[in-house]
Structure 1
Amino acid sequence: MNPLHLLSTFLCFTIIFLLSCNAPTFRIFEKPVIFNEERNRLSVEYLQKRHGIETEQSSIEPRMIVVHWTEIPTLEDTWDFFNSPHLDARPDILAASALNVSAHFLVDRDGTIFRLLPDTTFARHTIGLNYMAIGIENIGGSDAPLTRAQLLANEQLVRYLYKRHPIEWVIGHHEYYVFRDSELWMETDPDYLTYKVDPGDRFMKRLRSRLEDLKPRHLP
């Protein structure tokens, strides 16, 4: 074989190998929170009382993804907080329901993705929109900006969820207010709102720029 051909073949395989090494590997690790009879009952009650949906099932049909940050600095502390079915803190939202807050996915600082709940199981994470939204929580907060590894992981996770569900909207938690006057908003108390800043415009702009081919919506 021609030495030049051998060299070019070697270089091609080397480039492909290096590119594959740099590409983030997509994997979801299972780290389920407790979903027992109490959490199921509280979830159904929330759907009925807060969203006004008559149902006996604690399930959703996902059409939206909401991206959050935790403000809790570590993965284990966040998981511990979400794990209990019953809300033992947050007096600002405890009056609305005893159901604990949670999310479907949790992304660590290094981009590792953990599944806390199945995609179609109800989780309390976004007022007015829980009934149709998958929640992605990222370890970080105002004093710990989300990392590039988390950005790439969120992109991969959104793409994965787009293949599984008829997702139309990808929003940041801080953007949920704009849905208040839309037909998508389902909250029985018009005064039940909490102010949110996560994960911020900068992160969502960067995420959406990587998802342009999916054309995700962020307005009603």
Structure 2
Amino acid sequence: MLLTVRKICMISSLLGVMACSASVDQQVTETKESSALTVVQWPIIYNDKREELSLEYLNKRYNIKAEEAKITPKMVVVHWTAIPTLKASFNAFNSPMLPSSRGKISSASQLNVSAHYLIDRDGTIYQLLPNTTFARHVIGLNHSAIGIENVGNGSTLPLTTEQLNANIALIKQLSQDFPIEYVIGHYEYKNFVNHPLWKEVNPNYLTEKTDPGETFINQIRASLTNLNLKNVPELPQ
């Protein structure tokens, strides 16, 4: 059954009640619910072109030759979108091709950036891609990383308590389904240069990131101590 986001409202989770955004009219598939979590399925375009570009990225950036653009999740990377609305954030990820405005990273690939999850400011969780599908969201680690994007920017739109609680609940669920070893903020990805998980072939292909903010990611990790996650490596000298 297809539902609009307007019709999916006031859905309950163990964290409390989360009201779905009423600002998006595009159709989404029905929610997946468990006693712990509610996730709204809202897939971005995944067609032959996105698969082709994903396989090309794996090959050229990571020296991984694969028949399918799949990942083996071992970490979760938390981001903010730096885009003020849910709909605009979704639209930024939806196209398989990188827009011309992202010229700084286009030399690495024409594959558009994306993530597996997008969390609205009210805490509603939307799933954009299956957990084991390749997504471009973090340099060097995409082959093993599930990406969570949060609508906001940390300054004029600071991430919310509802988003914090949603991230914690989602990561707990993911850790039940996959052997998650690390939960990191996007800004910490450089700490994995020279780590066994690091795959980027070009040592100069690095960008500066600050998302989702040190306080936000530390609050998430403080609520995940029972998962026995590994410590983020020290930044290489």
Q: Please report the TM-score for the alignment, with normalisation by the length of structure 1.
A: 0.88
Structure 1 CA distance, aligned partners of 2:37 and 2:225? 20
8 Å CA contact retained: 2:14, 2:37: no
Query: Match of 1:169?
Result: 182
Shift of 1:67: 0.2
The reply on whether 1:74 has 2:67 as its aligned counterpart is no
The higher radius of gyration belongs to 1
Residues 1:100 and 1:21: Cα distance change in structure 2 (over 3 Å): closer
Query: Match of 1:103?
Result: 115
The reply on whether 1:139 has 2:151 as its aligned counterpart is yes
User: 2:173 is aligned with what amino acid?
Assistant: Y
Instruction: Specify every segment of 5 or more residues in structure 1 that has no aligned partner in the other structure, as ranges.
Output: 1-19
Query: Match of 2:130?
Result: 118
Residues 1:87 and 1:73: Cα distance change in structure 2 (over 3 Å): same
Shift of 1:203: 0.4
Match of 1:23 among 13, 16, 22: 16
Structure 2 CA distance, aligned partners of 1:84 and 1:138? 19
Across the aligned residues of Structure 1 and Structure 2, the Cα RMSD in angstroms comes to 1.4
Secondary structure of 1:50 counterpart: helix
The reply on whether 1:196 has 2:209 as its aligned counterpart is yes
User: 2:77 is aligned with what amino acid?
Assistant: V
Instruction: Specify every segment of 5 or more residues in structure 2 that has no aligned partner in the other structure, as ranges.
Output: 1-12, 18-35
8 Å CA contact retained: 1:171, 1:218: no
Secondary structure of 1:65 counterpart: strand
Structure 1 CA distance, aligned partners of 2:14 and 2:173? 20
User: 2:117 is aligned with what amino acid?
Assistant: F
Query: Match of 1:57?
Result: 68
Query: Match of 1:7?
Result: none
The reply on whether 1:34 has 2:45 as its aligned counterpart is yes
Query: Match of 1:155?
Result: 168
Q: Please report the TM-score for the alignment, with normalisation by the length of structure 2.
A: 0.82
Residues 1:196 and 1:148: Cα distance change in structure 2 (over 3 Å): same
Greater relative contact order (CA < 8 Å, ≥ 6 in sequence): 1
User: 1:76 is aligned with what amino acid?
Assistant: K
The aligned length equals 201
User: 2:209 is aligned with what amino acid?
Assistant: K
Shift of 1:212: 1.1
Shift of 1:183: 1.5
The reply on whether 1:215 has 2:215 as its aligned counterpart is no
Structure 2 CA distance, aligned partners of 1:157 and 1:186? 26
Structure 2 CA distance, aligned partners of 1:40 and 1:54? 13
Shift of 1:93: 0.3
User: 1:26 is aligned with what amino acid?
Assistant: L
Secondary structure of 1:90 counterpart: helix
Shift of 1:129: 0.1
Shift of 1:205: 1.1
Secondary structure of 1:122 counterpart: coil
Higher helix share: 1
